[in-house]
């Protein structure tokens, strides 16, 4: 196919040779299958902020570091330079998270390069060598659901031990590779220790996993892996190989109504984004 304008610069730089086809168009980016030498990879082309349905909510960008104080002041003021800096920080967040998580042994696509708003990374494939499907496109037996759920809980624990919370984890951004689930789409990842909303996001991520796989294995709907792993994390006891039970005893305390209202708003936004993702794509 004819290379999109955003990918032409990667061809000119010798980072890729050809563009094979468009793989998908998501809420914050378009993904293309590309060839680089003898390897087939994928190129994630980030959409401009004005074209995205997923906004850079303050909950996600809280405490994200920028290169210098000038950028930070500009971002706070909302100047043109500040908006550009904020956009660059948003895009580089996924790159940083991918490298950090890959180093920690988390099952994420291997990143290769990030150039002018395009992330070049591993193409996750199925047993036939085709692009792996998302979980929402696959039906599971109860045994498969339990196995994949357990594997993903382990990956979330590894992520948390590396100090990262996905922030938008669901069946729509997990691929089913030949050897098991692979987590994708990390531009909204947050620092577990530096973001005040990290606990809420983690509980939602883990809850999404239980809700999805609970369709096939209903016993998962009664589990509480999220609160259990967060308590261990806060107590400095969580390890990548921690054995979780899925049980958690709630401790009485006051209700944070602000947090409840934020969770309701976040759930509303997530449902709107989910409906958008389910819309059929235009023929390629």
* Per-residue model confidence as pLDDT tens digits over 189-210: 999 998 999 999 999 999 999 9
Are the CB atoms for 237 and 161 separated by under 8 Å? no
Query: What does the alpha-carbon distance between residue 240 and residue 242 come to, in Å, rounded to a whole number?
Result: 6
Query: What does the alpha-carbon distance between residue 156 and residue 143 come to, in Å, rounded to a whole number?
Result: 20
Q: Residue 49 above 90 pLDDT? A: no
Q: Residue 135 above 70 pLDDT? A: yes
Confidence of residue 25 (pLDDT cuts 50, 70, 90): confident
Q: Residue 213 above 70 pLDDT? A: yes
Fold of 5-278: Transferase(Phosphotransferase); domain 1 (1.10.510)
Q: What is the pLDDT of residue 225?
A: 98
Q: What is the pLDDT of residue 63?
A: 54
Confidence of residue 87 (pLDDT cuts 50, 70, 90): low
Could you tell me which residue, 93 or 215, shows the higher pLDDT? Answer: 215
Percent of the chain whose pLDDT exceeds 70: 73
- Catalytic position from the list 185, 191, 241, 256: 185
Q: What is the pLDDT of residue 116?
A: 86
Task: Please count the CA atoms within 13 angstroms of the CA of 178 that sit on its side-chain side.
Answer: 9
Are the CB atoms for 27 and 52 separated by under 8 Å? yes
Q: Residue 179 above 60 pLDDT? A: yes
Q: What is the pLDDT of residue 51?
A: 46
Residues 77-89, mean pLDDT to the nearest whole number: 55
237, burial (CB in 10 Å: exposed 0-12, middle 13-18, buried 19+): exposed
Active site residue 241: no
Confidence of residue 32 (pLDDT cuts 50, 70, 90): very high
Sketch the domain layout of the chain as residue ranges. 5-278
**8 conformational bin, left if phi > 0, alpha if psi -120 to 50, beta if neither:** alpha
Computed over every residue of the chain, the mean pLDDT equals: 83
Query: What does the alpha-carbon distance between residue 170 and residue 135 come to, in Å, rounded to a whole number?
Result: 9
Active site residue 168: yes
Confidence of residue 26 (pLDDT cuts 50, 70, 90): confident
Poorest-confidence range of 49-58, 101-110, 148-157? 49-58
- Catalytic position from the list 59, 96, 168, 205: 168
Poorest-confidence range of 182-186, 187-191, 255-259, 268-272? 255-259
């Amino acid at each position: 196919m004819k290379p999109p304008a955003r990918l032409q610069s990667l061809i000119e730089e010798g980072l890729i040779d050809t563009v094979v086809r468009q793989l998908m168009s998501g809420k914050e980016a378009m993904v293309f299958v590309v060839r680089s030498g003898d390897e087939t990879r994928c190129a994630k082309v980030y959409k401009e902020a004005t074209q995205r349905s997923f906004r850079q909510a303050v909950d996600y960008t809280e405490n994200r570091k920028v290169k210098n104080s000038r950028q930070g002041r500009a971002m706070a003021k909302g100047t043109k330079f500040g908006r550009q800096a904020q956009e660059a920080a948003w895009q580089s967040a996924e790159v940083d998270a991918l490298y950090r998580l890959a180093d920690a042994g988390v099952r994420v696509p291997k990143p290769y390069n990030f150039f002018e708003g395009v992330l070049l990374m591993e193409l996750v494939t199925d047993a036939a060598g085709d692009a792996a499907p998302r979980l929402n496109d696959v039906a599971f037996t109860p045994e498969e659901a339990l196995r994949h759920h357990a594997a993903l809980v382990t990956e979330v624990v590894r992520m948390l031990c590396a100090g990262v919370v996905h922030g938008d984890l669901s069946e729509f951004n997990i691929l089913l590779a030949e050897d098991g689930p692979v987590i994708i789409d990390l531009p909204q990842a947050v620092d577990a220790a530096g973001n005040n909303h990290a606990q809420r996001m983690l509980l939602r991520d883990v809850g999404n996993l239980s809700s999805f796989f609970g369709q096939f294995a209903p016993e998962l709907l009664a589990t509480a892996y999220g609160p259990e792993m967060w308590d261990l994390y806060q107590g400095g006891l969580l390890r990548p190989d921690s054995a979780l039970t899925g049980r958690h005893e709630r401790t009485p305390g006051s209700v944070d109504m602000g947090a409840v209202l934020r969770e309701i708003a976040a759930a509303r936004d997530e449902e709107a984004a989910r409906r958008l993702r389910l819309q059929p794509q235009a023929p390629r």
